[in-house]
Chain A
Amino acid sequence: MRGTWLIFRKEMLEFSKDRKTVFFTFILPLILYPTIFTMMTKLAKGDSDKQKGRPSRVVLIDPTSAIRPLLQKGTKEFELVEAPEGDLKKALLDQKLDLILDVDPEAAAKLARQETFTLTTQVDESERASELALKRLKKALESQNQAWVKARLESAHASSMLAEPAKLVEQNASDKAREMGKIMGAWLPYLLIIVMYAGAMQHGAYVTAGEKERGTLLSLLSTRLSRKSIIYGKLLMVFTVGLGSAVASLAGWFLGFASLSKEIASSTQAAASTAPQVSAMANLANPANLLLALFLVIPMGLLFSAIIVLLGTQARNTREATMSMTPGIFIVMMLGMFSSAPGVEKMAALPWVPILNVSLSIRKLFGEQFVAWEYTLALGMTIVLAAAAVALATKLLDREEALFKV
């Protein structure tokens, strides 16, 4: 036990000497995520405000002026522009206009005869401005259509209710905080799994294959410390750094989300609209939830660390170690992405799949859908797997072929 502690302390001390690595592992996520979140929000908000603040540029082809008054009425939303010379479609794609509206040449006559006429639009769906123009047109046309229908019914001395036999009233049983919690809970395990593996991987290669490559492992092995204590000490270090980097990334993510909420609150919307986010964050930061999540994360981190130390010690050098560990990051990324997909939580077999069941339990924990047996199963299964991985790693690493493979 003392040997394990001595090696762990030495590894942590060595790690702390490399200020750049410490910065990139623990400090950068705390700065990076809030910065990225704030910048993204500001950019998106700036673009959205810009679009909403200016009228949509529409080229209207309406020989009978059936629609023209509708678009001229709300002058703030639409700006009727002259058709530019040349190809209209190209002008649209070049963002010289936002929408082309071609109205039936007999629209006015058809309207008078109480018939249906067509309006054809051309938009560039890849452009927000064009999308917004279409949205505005649909909204304007919807209320105009209702007015026309009402007028036609009145002229036929019929009730306006004829046009609307049933009226749908939508009510959301779930509150916004719960919805936000579900969204955040779905992404939390994904982040946790990836960051834990990636964080452990970088340092795992350094303390295993790196020590072999630099010729320092032999000096450790030649001391009176047992092989097991050396392996356990390294394992503990890889686990600690992996967990530490996951915590730092999560803290950065929370900070980022907090700054995002602040940004939304400072916008034109009412401050009350951020209440769901704040409430969802409070749910995520609930000590009981965090503690339960931590119980799951510890064996999972140990499992990852054992795999990484095992791969690192079997390798001849850091390059070889990194190469053998890299496929793992794609595997955990895929697992993470799968576990964060909508509807996955309903799959009956999922609680029996290792790693994914951890992800599922964390997701349900923060989405206020905690299922005790699923949690216990995930915890038990991960503990057994972690213990098996640690035992296997220790057994394989104690072999001379692994330790002296150079």
Chain B
Amino acid sequence: MIELRNVHKAFTVKDKKNRKPKRIEAVRGISFSVKPGEIYGLLGPNGAGKSTTLRMIASLMLPDQGSIQVCGMDTKAEPEGVRGKLAFLSTDMSVYDRFTPREILRLFGEFQGVEPLTAERRGLHLMDRFGMGDFADVKVDGFSSGQKQKLSIARALLHDPKVVIFDEPTTGLDVLTAKTVLDLLRIMRDEGRTVIVSTHVMPMVEKICDRVGIIFDGQLHGDAPPRELLQRFNVGTLDEVFFQLANGKEA
């Protein structure tokens, strides 16, 4: 279970013109919750506050105001406990080039408090599903970006997390592997895990998400199942919902 209550987050940046610090509010009073056995899609244009929100849920950043609860734990009070329960994957992440997948899985297993052999077994099982079983002992250095993304997914999930947060999970993947990842997300939902996905691929959202939240300017606009959002905006696709929200903002 994930619950965000009136979450705010601002950053201080240096204004290059007058060289004075400038405060930018990335997230402004976001509240929503995601139940176990649910896939929640977080949508929004670049710079809307999606990544900051996801990082705050993963306890990588702390909210300035408001609170976030993950599996009953407050991200401010128990950040390590929260990270032990969740898997976080974003496009900014990469894997260690000098290691082999087997070594990475063992190391990260230990980081997550899982027996190295168990972590290796779980990770290699996932790599097998992604068609990378033969690459367990090959140095990551020569991997393609897609292969690295598959390994990142296996690495993120090796500690059997209760909450899964994937930022653009299918980026760089071929159609077949992308489908495997989406199937995996569905399986995880069916197993009762809480899943949050952030993406720009609208058809994917319509296909797998039980509920969708759209972020614009650090605020949440619409938090409902995809079908309900389409009806509310009286449009045929989520792309059109997006355009309407953008136009509304401009107006």
Q: List chain A positions with a Cβ less than 8 A from chain B.
A: 3, 6, 10, 13-14, 17-18, 214-216, 218-226, 400-401, 404, 406
B155 touches A219 (CB 8 A): yes
Listed by A's residue number, 26 A-B pairs whose Cβ atoms lie within 8 Å are A3-B111, A6-B107, A13-B99, A14-B98, A17-B98, A214-B94, A215-B92, A215-B93, A215-B94, A216-B95, A216-B96, A218-B90, A218-B92, A219-B93, A219-B95, A219-B108, A220-B111, A221-B60, A222-B88, A223-B108, A224-B81, A224-B111, A400-B62, A401-B11, A404-B61, A406-B92
Query: In which size bucket is the chain B interface?
Result: 20 to 34
Could you say which residues of chain A place their CB within 8 Å of the CB of B108?
Answer: 219, 223
Q: A223-B83, A404-B55 are in contact. List 12 more A-B contacts (CB 8 A).
A: A6-B107, A10-B107, A14-B98, A18-B98, A218-B92, A218-B93, A222-B58, A222-B83, A224-B84, A226-B80, A401-B11, A404-B61
Q: List chain B positions with a Cβ less than 8 A from chain A.
A: 11-12, 55, 58, 60-62, 80-81, 83-84, 88, 90, 92-99, 103, 107-108, 110-113, 152, 155-156
Could you say which residues of chain B place their CB within 8 Å of the CB of A226?
Answer: 80
B86 CB, nearest partner CB in chain A, Å: 8
B143 CB, nearest partner CB in chain A, Å: 13
Task: Tell me the nearest residue of chain A to B51, going by C-beta.
Answer: A404
CA distance in complex: A153, B107 (Å): 93
A223 touches B112 (CB 8 A): yes
CA distance in complex: A221, B93 (Å): 10
B107 touches A225 (CB 8 A): no
Task: Tell me the nearest residue of chain A to B113, going by C-beta.
Answer: A224
Assuming the contacts A224-B83, A224-B84, A224-B113, asked whether A218 and B99 have C-beta atoms less than 8 A apart, the reply is no
CA distance in complex: A221, B82 (Å): 12
CA distance in complex: A100, B156 (Å): 84
Could you say which residues of chain B place their CB within 8 Å of the CB of A17?
Answer: 98-99
CA distance in complex: A10, B88 (Å): 20
Could you say which residues of chain A place their CB within 8 Å of the CB of B112?
Answer: 223-224
Total A-B pairs, Cβ < 8 A: 63
A138 CB, nearest partner CB in chain B, Å: 64
* Residue from the list A14, A221, A406 in contact with B99, Cβ < 8 A: A14
CA distance in complex: A158, B155 (Å): 103
A219 touches B62 (CB 8 A): no
CA distance in complex: A17, B96 (Å): 11
CA distance in complex: A226, B60 (Å): 11
Assuming the contacts A6-B111, A226-B80, asked whether A219 and B99 have C-beta atoms less than 8 A apart, the reply is no
Could you say which residues of chain B place their CB within 8 Å of the CB of A220?
Answer: 111
A211 CB, nearest partner CB in chain B, Å: 9
Could you say which residues of chain A place their CB within 8 Å of the CB of B11?
Answer: 401
CA distance in complex: A131, B192 (Å): 91
Could you say which residues of chain A place their CB within 8 Å of the CB of B111?
Answer: 3, 6, 220, 223-225
Could you say which residues of chain B place their CB within 8 Å of the CB of A218?
Answer: 60, 90, 92-93
CA distance in complex: A400, B84 (Å): 20
Could you say which residues of chain A place their CB within 8 Å of the CB of B99?
Answer: 13-14, 17
